[in-house]
Structure 1
Amino acid sequence: MNGTITIQETRFLRGPNLYASTPCVMALLEIDMEPARAVEAACLVQRTVRELQEMAGVPAPYGCVKRLMDDARSFRVVCGFEVEEVAERALLLAVDFVEAQMRGSLFSVADRLVELHAAAVRQVSASASILMDEAKRRDIPVLELDDHVIQFGWGAQQTRISSSATHGALPEGDGRIPVIAITGTNGKTTTTLLVAHTVRLAGHTTGYTTTEGVFIDGCPVARGDCTGYWSARDILTAPNVEFAVLETARGGILKRGLAYDKCDVSVVLNVSADHLGLEGVETVEDLARVKGVVGCSAGKAAVLNAEDRHCVAMAAQLQPGVEVIYFSMDAENPVLLRHLEQGGRAVYLHDQSMVIADGQRHEELLRVEHMPVTMNGRARYNVANCLAATAALMAAGIARTDIAHGLTSFVSDGRSNPLRGNVFDVRGVTVIVDYAHNAAAYAALAGMARAMTRGKLVGIVTAPGDRRDSDLEEIGATCAERFDDIVVYESQSRGRTMGGTVEIIVRGAHAAPRLLARVHEEWVDIDAIRRGLDLCEPGDVLVFACGTSLATLVEALRVPDPIAAARIEAEIG
């Protein structure tokens, strides 16, 4: 043991996060000391970072230390901050100071304390500083932008000044626009699109983020997986946005925290095993805590799944005065019934109708078959997404007639919602393409696909290689019990040797308690699609899951069926 403390990674969590509702810096430290001494050093670093910030005149009210489960020498050290540069300098100084202390060496902090004090001095004019203090008093969001500009408020309600300005004005009221934030293990993108589509039809200029990009009023501003901090910030800083709908994924929460201090309505769709063993999220309970960051950011209402115990548990963690609105596919769900008895609001499914209830009145809004995204009710997971979207829209004050109009006009196809239950015809075989990549999603997708055929159901299945062995085995077992044939392929190895993911999924399939499927292996996605189609007859259904692009299906068909390839390519644009 050489007594060194190494900063492996530093993250500035600029909004509500896994550790606190206010900004924090999280440092991953590797401490090369005996276990007891390593714990002592980690705790001392945390206390020193906070004390140094306070010595510089910047409050740092929160701190914690968490040891990594699989490494006795690695720790996550978390400290609150107000000024990022001060926190960064304090962390570096604290590590050097504690390392010297643990070695019994002398260490002078005087010169670096001067630098710390200088970093704490606000680099804004007196007028701007007064406005910033007043904005915080009035609960107006304050964003310091990169070009020495300070933004007060969000979207269309914002005002901006230069940091050196001598005059300026704050927005009326609190300067906020309505924000709906949506999270969960499965269904986030479709629910976000349902909500955004309906809000747009109701007459609002809508900014929204999804795994497909950043969009303002239906037009793409950026493409890619845009479910994190910076994408949400792009929406909140856009001057023409009147209403924000933000898909918020696990990764963005862990890497940067939320881009907003609070939203009007939070939506937590479900919590099930996915991404476990990554970023310190080892269990479903850990994952629920991450998703709960979004749930607990609600300022007005939280929409929660009454059938998911992790979602139900979040109700007790909400801020005082925040309304709980449950949604449920089961009209007899005990949580739902108890909530309605107490006068709460909810949206639930009854006899294939969506019902809005407030404890006193139960009103049918729509029949399931009138919502195209549900595929006549066969896509039950999308029925659930529609329930959640309705609850969120209702909480945000959107009229019921507008909600009905939005749900009945939203179409989920390869152009508007790629890789989300997109359906194509290939020589009489119904081909469904979906991004399912965990056991819960595969089970839901197979249930929908089975309802679409009296013939055979063939699955082209895989998962990212960074999932735990047990999760990959569960995917194999889930698929083997629900498909007639499965073709297992390699998608994103992510640290595994080529073919390693296939091997584990196949092992799980063969160990399934109720093995139904014949199991085939094809390492390459295009070959797997062709193999799957060869197993099908007209009238059968083929599910291609966990693909990264619809172009993969087109390429797989280009040689054996160029007409179908050209048609699908035209459909998806």
Structure 2
Amino acid sequence: MTDTPVDEPEYPSPSISDCRRLQGPNRYGPTPGAVVTVLVVDAEARCAVDHWPYAARRLTQALGWERIEFVARHSIRDATCYLSAPMDGLMTATAVAEMAWVESEAYVNQREVPDAAPTLAAQYAEECVRHPHVRELAAGAHTRGLAFSIDDEAVSVGSGRGVLTWAHGEAPSSSSVAWAAVSDIPLIMVTGSNGKTTTTRLVAAMWRAAGATTGWSCSDGVFVESDLEKRTLGIGDYTGPGGARLVMRDADVQVGVLETARGGMLRRGLGTTTATVAVITNISADHFGEYGVHTLEDLAEVKAIVTRALGPEARLVLNADDPTVVALGARLAAGHALPIAWFSMNADTALVAEGIDAHGDGAVLHDGHLMLCREGVWGDVGRVSEMPVTADGAARHNVENALAAALTASCSGVSLSAVQVALRRFGSAWHDNAGRLERYAFGGITVFVDYAHNPEGIRALCATAASVPGTRRGLVLGNAGDRDNDQLRALAQAAWSVAPFDRVIVKEMVSLLRGRPEGELPALLVDELRRCGAPADRVSIAPSEFEAVCEMLSWAQKGDVLVLPTHAERGRVSSYLDQLRVGGWRAGDALPAAPVFA
């Protein structure tokens, strides 16, 4: 009889749920480090959290680390403990965080544990050998105000056409670097709950209209584009620091636009230490319960991580119509003198005027026109109903995104004329903003495809679709399983609050269950739709996103409007809709077979 091997535990204490390196500015401070997340189930655990900084300090002093910061935060069901660390000791820092927790638990429970300092010292010595000169390169870049980035493969100073990058083990000493050849390009960071990808694409289009070779990272991939060519550096979700580094390390890039999502900032920190402009589009309830984020204020704090990369001459662009963003702006303004430029859908918003008085920048919607103020001078960007991205002005959320993008681009150096050119063109071709408010009109029906993934996104999408005349209206609804039940119910509430639908098909997405059992999420959404007043005969469940779309298309009749948020199978859905449009399919006809989609 063979004994079954027992897997080694991932962490040295069962109460540790996560430990990770933060390779750039992060929620806890402007410098890299490590953070350990621990479960807090009783008073003893809370006492251990309070003792953790003292244990961590003892271990870092044994390593000879100086000026290290320690943060221990209690949350609802867990706690996070962070320590800053030198650039050449980030892996060791995770071990320090873990062993400090082991010592803290032992201290509270009056137990003895072996001293971890000698083992940690040996680990740090090995890490320094693998990453020579990293610490002094980081210091050299910081002294010169240049971007610095590090990952598991390489280390960089500068960005874009001014970047130098070395593989680990090959980095030179700081004194050997030709610092005169190192420089930074304009870097723009885009974050928020909704509109990040559209705003990123718009800002990139504005810089291209200004003649710059632009690199941008977003939830669809990483791209470098000029008037002559477009290169794809990666396909998939690149809203974390990995996407930022791909843009920054491409020597052809003259301007970088970086979509910067919550998850990447929390897991690894920012991908850059410097930025020219950062924009927060809006903040709405989403992803609560992850990484110690339980409230809108917590989420606002996470979005504000982007400010840690902004220097004194940079700009922070904020939404004056979002109460949570306004409150965040007040807290940030009280903390330091970072110039804030505001945008608003209301021409009379006081915050916009205050920002213009302070530094000359702002943007508003006035009498149907997007008005942009740069250095105290107002310019008319154009009538929003004539900007394709706004769907004739009906997509109010994209009017807001256009305001955010125009002000962000202007603050980073784009001329008014280039902003005008970009907004006259962007959205006229479907690939300009793939997966974001794609509007199809074929076969006698109108179809909206969008990534809308939270209550505010769904509400905005449904409101845009409601502005289009239609005989009947259909909705496909679903979400990933990592939202809590309240957020999922809010999704259904938001959709039904705009207008009752004649048909709702709730989709199961097996690839996005995120730990939930199959069937649980659709059942919850159906239950909430019924609570909102949806008749039972109007609501059904489909086993996949694509099957939900096909079922909705089979139901459609001439004059109908279909709302299809897509998440798991967007490429397949878009390809099939193109097939129907090109093939002359009409509502009421049998659906043709879909091609195999890789």
Describe the shift of the 1:567–1:169 C-alpha distance in structure 2 as closer, same or farther (beyond 3 A): farther
CA contact (8 A) 1:459 1:543 kept: yes
For 1:435, the equivalent position in structure 2 comes to: 451
Residue 135 of structure 2 is aligned to residue 135 of structure 1: no
Aligned match for 1:523, one of 542, 551, 558: 542
Describe the shift of the 1:508–1:58 C-alpha distance in structure 2 as closer, same or farther (beyond 3 A): same
Matches of residues 5-20 of structure 1 in structure 2 within 5 Å? Answer: 6-20=15-29
Amino acid at match of 2:197: T
Q: 3-state SS of the aligned residue for 1:521?
A: strand
Q: 3-state SS of the aligned residue for 1:497?
A: coil
For 1:213, the equivalent position in structure 2 comes to: 221
Decide which moves more: 213-222 or 59-68.
Answer: 59-68
Residue 35 of structure 2 is aligned to residue 26 of structure 1: yes
| Corresponding pairs, count | 562
CA deviation vs aligned residue, 1:546-568 (integer Å, no higher than 9, x gap): 34314135558979996449999
RMSD over aligned CA atoms reads: 3.4
Supply the distance in 2 between the matched residues of 1:342 and 1:518 (Cα, whole angstroms). Answer: 58
For 1:198, the equivalent position in structure 2 comes to: 206
Residue 36 of structure 2 is aligned to residue 43 of structure 1: no
Supply the distance in 2 between the matched residues of 1:340 and 1:93 (Cα, whole angstroms). Answer: 51
For 2:441, the equivalent position in structure 1 comes to: 425
Supply the distance in 1 between the matched residues of 2:317 and 2:578 (Cα, whole angstroms). Answer: 42
Note the C-alpha offset of 1:187: 0.7
Note the C-alpha offset of 1:476: 1.5
Supply the distance in 2 between the matched residues of 1:63 and 1:107 (Cα, whole angstroms). Answer: 22
Q: 3-state SS of the aligned residue for 1:282?
A: coil
For 2:164, the equivalent position in structure 1 comes to: 159
Supply the distance in 1 between the matched residues of 2:395 and 2:175 (Cα, whole angstroms). Answer: 56
Note the C-alpha offset of 1:518: 7.0
Describe the shift of the 1:559–1:189 C-alpha distance in structure 2 as closer, same or farther (beyond 3 A): closer
Aligned match for 2:527, one of 497, 507, 527: 507
Supply the distance in 2 between the matched residues of 1:477 and 1:99 (Cα, whole angstroms). Answer: 44
CA deviation vs aligned residue, 1:294-331 (integer Å, no higher than 9, x gap): 24533310110000122222334157443211111122
Amino acid at match of 2:530: H
CA deviation vs aligned residue, 1:186-218 (integer Å, no higher than 9, x gap): 111111011112212322221110100011223
Describe the shift of the 1:389–1:568 C-alpha distance in structure 2 as closer, same or farther (beyond 3 A): farther
CA contact (8 A) 1:478 1:512 kept: no
For 1:392, the equivalent position in structure 2 comes to: 408
Matches of residues 48-127 of structure 1 in structure 2 within 5 Å? Answer: 48-70=55-77, 74-82=78-86, 83-101=89-107, 102-105=109-112, 107-109=114-116, 111-112=118-119, 114-115=121-122, 118=125
For 2:9, the equivalent position in structure 1 comes to: none
Residue 561 of structure 2 is aligned to residue 541 of structure 1: yes
For 2:552, the equivalent position in structure 1 comes to: 532
For 2:501, the equivalent position in structure 1 comes to: 484
CA deviation vs aligned residue, 1:328-386 (integer Å, no higher than 9, x gap): 11223343344446564211111111111369543312111331111111111111111
Residue 337 of structure 2 is aligned to residue 329 of structure 1: no
Describe the shift of the 1:107–1:327 C-alpha distance in structure 2 as closer, same or farther (beyond 3 A): same
Decide which moves more: 178-187 or 74-83.
Answer: 74-83
CA contact (8 A) 1:480 1:516 kept: no
Structure 1 unaligned regions, length at least 5: none
Matches of residues 214-293 of structure 1 in structure 2 within 5 Å? Answer: 214-217=222-225, 218-293=230-305
Decide which moves more: 486-495 or 131-140.
Answer: 131-140
Amino acid at match of 1:541: V
CA contact (8 A) 1:413 1:422 kept: no
Amino acid at match of 2:222: V
CA contact (8 A) 1:326 1:336 kept: yes
CA contact (8 A) 2:459 2:494 kept: yes
Note the C-alpha offset of 1:242: 1.5
Describe the shift of the 1:7–1:124 C-alpha distance in structure 2 as closer, same or farther (beyond 3 A): closer
CA contact (8 A) 2:95 2:120 kept: no
Describe the shift of the 1:254–1:203 C-alpha distance in structure 2 as closer, same or farther (beyond 3 A): same
Note the C-alpha offset of 1:115: 1.9
CA contact (8 A) 2:63 2:117 kept: no
Note the C-alpha offset of 1:253: 0.8
CA contact (8 A) 2:362 2:372 kept: yes
CA contact (8 A) 1:181 1:265 kept: yes
Structure 2 unaligned regions, length at least 5: 1-11
For 1:447, the equivalent position in structure 2 comes to: 463
CA contact (8 A) 1:478 1:509 kept: no
Supply the distance in 2 between the matched residues of 1:561 and 1:260 (Cα, whole angstroms). Answer: 44
Supply the distance in 2 between the matched residues of 1:145 and 1:280 (Cα, whole angstroms). Answer: 24
Describe the shift of the 1:263–1:326 C-alpha distance in structure 2 as closer, same or farther (beyond 3 A): same
Note the C-alpha offset of 1:19: 1.6
Amino acid at match of 1:157: G
Q: What TM-score, normalized to structure 2?
A: 0.84
Matches of residues 439-478 of structure 1 in structure 2 within 5 Å? Answer: 439-478=455-494
CA contact (8 A) 1:477 1:510 kept: no
Q: 3-state SS of the aligned residue for 1:91?
A: helix
Supply the distance in 1 between the matched residues of 2:29 and 2:593 (Cα, whole angstroms). Answer: 47
Describe the shift of the 1:569–1:137 C-alpha distance in structure 2 as closer, same or farther (beyond 3 A): farther
Supply the distance in 1 between the matched residues of 2:135 and 2:491 (Cα, whole angstroms). Answer: 55
Q: 3-state SS of the aligned residue for 1:12?
A: strand
Supply the distance in 2 between the matched residues of 1:393 and 1:307 (Cα, whole angstroms). Answer: 19
Q: 3-state SS of the aligned residue for 1:38?
A: helix
Supply the distance in 1 between the matched residues of 2:60 and 2:421 (Cα, whole angstroms). Answer: 53
Amino acid at match of 1:59: E
Note the C-alpha offset of 1:112: 2.8
CA contact (8 A) 1:424 1:430 kept: yes
Amino acid at match of 2:71: C
Describe the shift of the 1:51–1:120 C-alpha distance in structure 2 as closer, same or farther (beyond 3 A): farther
Supply the distance in 2 between the matched residues of 1:6 and 1:265 (Cα, whole angstroms). Answer: 40
CA contact (8 A) 2:160 2:253 kept: yes
Supply the distance in 1 between the matched residues of 2:174 and 2:539 (Cα, whole angstroms). Answer: 71
